[in-house]
Structure 1
Amino acid sequence: MAVITERFQAKVAILALGLILALLSNFMAEATSRRGLGEGDSGVFDVTSYGAKADGKADDAMAFVKAWVAACKSGGSAKLSIPTGTYMAGPVVFQGPCKGFMTVEVQGTIKATTDISDYSSPEWFSFEHIDGLIVNGGGTFDGQGAAVWKYNDCKDSSDCQLLPSSIKFMAVKNAIVHEITSLNSKSFHTHLVNCDNFTAHDLTITAPGDSPNTDGMHISRSNLVSVSNSQIGTGDDCVSIGQGATQVSIQNIVCGPGHGISVGSLGKYKDEEDVSGISVTGCTLKGTTNGVRIKTWPGSPPSKASSIAFEDITMDSVKNPIIIDQNYGSSKKEPSQVKISNVRYTNIKGTSISPMAVSILCSSEAPCTGIEMTDIDLQFMGKSSKSDTVSSSCSNAKITFGGKQNPPACDV
């Protein structure tokens, strides 16, 4: 598995570099080939030229969409510019396909409207059916979630209707998102669905630790995704990897507060796609309720989660550092049928605030196989316990151990 992971990480790096070079080359070619642009016109579409007020009061959503449509149809690479200032906006859809690579440069602060009746579907900014996209600029998407979190009832109902996500990428290919801030989303901060070759780095994602369902990034039915070098602190998972995610690399994330970095939850719905090729490396989790977690629903239809690696992870006062929970989120007695296999935990160290630092609780119907635990060193830092040592619990799992094991290896 080590060779597979190294090859995958190298493939991600090469593809990301190739995408950057392709985008730059395409942009320069388009810039030099255009003859219809006036002097000084570089293909920049400023939203203020399309009616955006930037006064923090008027709804600028329509101006954003008008600027996008013009840029998208312009015939080549184009930049939609949101300059410094404070903008208010209701739902915005940036839809393709476009005639060239697109850049959305956000330098200002965009605040979401807080009337939930404005949102006919559960997202605020939506990028759809685009091949070739850059989103950057150092600006902020402020979801103003504090005004509506009280309407979230997901703690009481597993079939709840989520509030709008701040930024959704639907069927987006060959994209780079970097140097933006997402603040106080109503629900998910960023959400990837049906995306391919998607790179995100140097993001700042922030919401209070008690904000509901504010996952930093949720990834589902997407392939070749890289998320790296970002600060994520929310009220839910910093990164959650859902059904159909394949070849996903999570690197150098500082996570906290939040629920940790999770594969899942899986198995809640029929016909879910398998998850495979997940690599989580070099991450630090601070004060989170979980560390690295795989979670599946009981009574689920059959599916698979395989080839998952958690490596070089630092835990700082984490409640449940290593956890597989195949009885997540429900009181159902039927076991999960999500088959978990080939999961590697390597060089995971730090502190746990609960004595049960490792919990591998797999399904009796589909036991976990190929679990490897190497060089685990977790120290107890809790305030109340009969012991100052950590322990582990394992069931329905075939596990091999190597190197240091603190807590001691499970009897399996």
Structure 2
Amino acid sequence: MQIDGTIVAPDEPASWDPNYARLWLHFSKLNGIIFQGNGVIDGSGSKWWAASCKKNKSNPCKGAPTALTIDSSTGVKVKGITVQNSQQMNFVITRCNSVRISDVIISSPGDSPNTDGIHITESTNVVLQDSKIGTGDDCVSIVNGSSNIKMKRIYCGPGHGISIGSLGKDNSTGIVTKVVLDTALLRETTNGLRIKTWQGGHGYVRGIRYENVKMENVANPIIIDQFYCDSPKSCENQTAAVEISQIMYRNISGTSKSPKAMKFSCSDTVPCSNIVLTNVNLEGKDGTVETYCNSAQGFGYGIVHPSIDCLTSHDKDYTFTPDIIEVSEATSQEIVHAEL
């Protein structure tokens, strides 16, 4: 699929076919497909954003189209294209296996609501590399049913950072495993490396490694939040929670816009466990920074700043060996083998 020139969406929400309210360019059930070129996919999203309830609380909350969706496909390569100004999410990978995305640009204004850059759901063996993402929501969001995800050399900003979740909404089950982010720059984002789950959920997040990440004036550079609540009304306290364990942060540095540079806000009944930090150095852009913990267990070695004394540790002999994900070629498909 060669994409050149610019593909422009209709800019009037009222003219959109209600039978396809959440989709614009949608590709499904493909095997061995390559999307390439220097073209631009432009969602013409400004009127959709103005109608969002996140822009104006008097507006009804409803979904808007995703600019580009690849669904239920295997052996997918996406290279070189630009997706911009999406009506809602920019680029979604759903129910796919063996995907390689490289040299893509995702661009939406920092104040555009719910415009996730690249959203990965129910997908396995995904490589995302050498890409620049700036948007009004998560630069990358990885949600339920996803595993063996490798991200390398990623630029993020503006946006809400690189997120796992949200998971567990409405007491649902969420599972994400074996995710690696290696070499990234996050600049002026509202979050950095974030894991977010709703109270009442089930499932687990485990085997996650972040390494070689530079932060520039990032609010919440490192955050685990098991009390996530993206709702107009307050969320009720619940004892069930998505379990979070085996999370490693290695070679993370830069500046924090907020005084709490690291936040591990975990469930009292399902604490976070086996959080490992090594060579982490986060400084305050204006003043000192600290670490906040609630029901979080783990330890650090090497330089770890700010201090993580608030983490409890029951087993400092715990061995976390998240070997680098190896990318190999197999019958025209890019497969990711992860041993975490």
Q: TM-score range by the shorter chain?
A: 0.7 to 0.9
SS at match of 2:33: strand
Q: Does 1:131 align with 2:31?
A: yes
Equivalent position amino acid for 2:11 in 1: T
Could you tell me which amino acid in structure 2 is paired with residue 394 of structure 1?
C
Question: Please, which runs of 5 or more residues in structure 1 have no aligned partner?
Answer: 1-103, 383-387
Counterpart among 215, 218, 227 of residue 128 in structure 2: 227
Q: Work out the CA distance in 1 between the residues paired with 2:54 and 2:205.
A: 25
1:85-112 CA-partner distances (Å, limit 9, x unpaired): xxxxxxxxxxxxxxxxxxx101110100
| 2:260 equivalent in structure 1 | 356
Structure 2 residue matching 1:166: 3-state secondary structure: strand
> How far 1:172 moved relative to its partner?
1.2
Once the two structures are superposed, residues 306-332 of structure 1 have per-residue CA deviations (whole angstroms, 9 ceiling, x without a partner) of 101111110011011000011112522
User: Hey, what's the Cα distance between the residues in 1 that align with 2:170 and 2:73?
Assistant: 24
For 2:6 and 2:200, the matched residues in 1 are separated by 44
Q: 1:239 aligns with which of 140, 145, 165?
A: 140
Alpha-carbon distance change, 336 to 236 in structure 1, aligned in 2, over 3 angstroms:
farther
2:10 is matched with 113
Q: Are the counterparts in 1 of residues 143 and 174 from structure 2 also a CA contact under 8 Å? A: no
Shift of 1:336: 4.8
**Matching residue of 1:395:** 294
Deviation at 1:337, TM superposition (A): 1.2
CA drift of 1:160 comes to 3.9
State how far apart, in whole Å, the 2-side matches of 1:255 and 1:232 are.
5
Match of 1:342 in 2: 246
- Residues 1:174 and 1:376: Cα distance change in structure 2 (over 3 Å): same
Give 1:196's aligned residue. Answer: 97
Counterpart of 2:336 in structure 1 is: none
Q: Which has the higher helix share?
A: 1
Equivalents in 1 of 2:190, 2:253: separation in Å?
A: 16
- Name 1:65's counterpart in structure 2: none
Q: Find out whether 1:287 has 2:178 as its counterpart.
A: no
Aligned CA RMSD, in angstroms, stands at 1.6
**Take 2:189 and 2:150, find their aligned partners in 1: how far apart are those partners?**
21
TM-superposition CA deviations, 1:54-108 (whole Å, max 9, x none): xxxxxxxxxxxxxxxxxxxxxxxxxxxxxxxxxxxxxxxxxxxxxxxxxx10111
SS in 2 for 1:131: coil
* Partner residue of 1:333 out of 220, 237, 259: 237
Deviation readout 1:359-404 (Å, 9 max, x if unpaired): 001111211111101111011113xxxxx21100111111111110
Aligned counterpart in structure 2 of residue 207 of structure 1, from 108, 112, 119: 108
Which secondary structure does the structure 2 equivalent of 1:274 belong to? strand
Report the residue type matching 2:211 in the other structure. Answer: E
Of 261, 275, 285, the residue aligned with 2:162 is 261
Contact 2:193-2:223 within 8 A present in 1 as well: yes
Is the 8 Å Cα contact of residues 173 and 242 (structure 2) preserved in structure 1? no
SS of 2:169's equivalent?
coil
> Which residue type is aligned with residue 368 of structure 1?
C
Q: Deviations over 1:270-326 (max 9, x none)?
A: 5534110011110110000000000001222x1111101111110011011000011
Is the 8 Å Cα contact of residues 393 and 410 (structure 1) preserved in structure 2? no
Query: Aligned partners of 1:290, 1:255: CA distance in 2, in Å?
Result: 10
Letter in 2 for 1:333: N
Q: Deviations over 1:179-223 (max 9, x none)?
A: 000110011110111000011010011011100001000001000
CA deviation after TM superposition for structure 1 residue 335, in Å: 4.0
Which residue type is aligned with residue 272 of structure 1?
A: T
Q: Which residue of 1 aligns with 2:51?
A: 151
Q: Which runs of 4+ in 1 moved over 3 A?
A: 154-157, 269-273
Q: 1:162 to 1:410 in 2, by over 3 A?
A: farther
User: Partner amino acid for 1:111?
Assistant: V
State the Cα distance separating 1:147 from its structure 2 match: 2.1
Give the 5 Å matches for 1:38-117: 104-116=1-13, 117=15
**Other structure's SS at 2:249 match:** strand
Report 1 or 2 for greater relative contact order, CA contacts < 8 Å, sequence distance ≥ 6.
2
Pick from 288, 305, 308 the counterpart of residue 406 of structure 1.
305
Mapping of 1:301-320 within 5 angstroms? 302-320=202-220
- CA gap 1:163/1:410 in 2 versus in 1, 3 angstroms: farther
Question: CA separation in 2, counterparts of 1:399 and 1:273?
Answer: 22
Structure 2, unaligned stretches of length 5 or more?
313-340
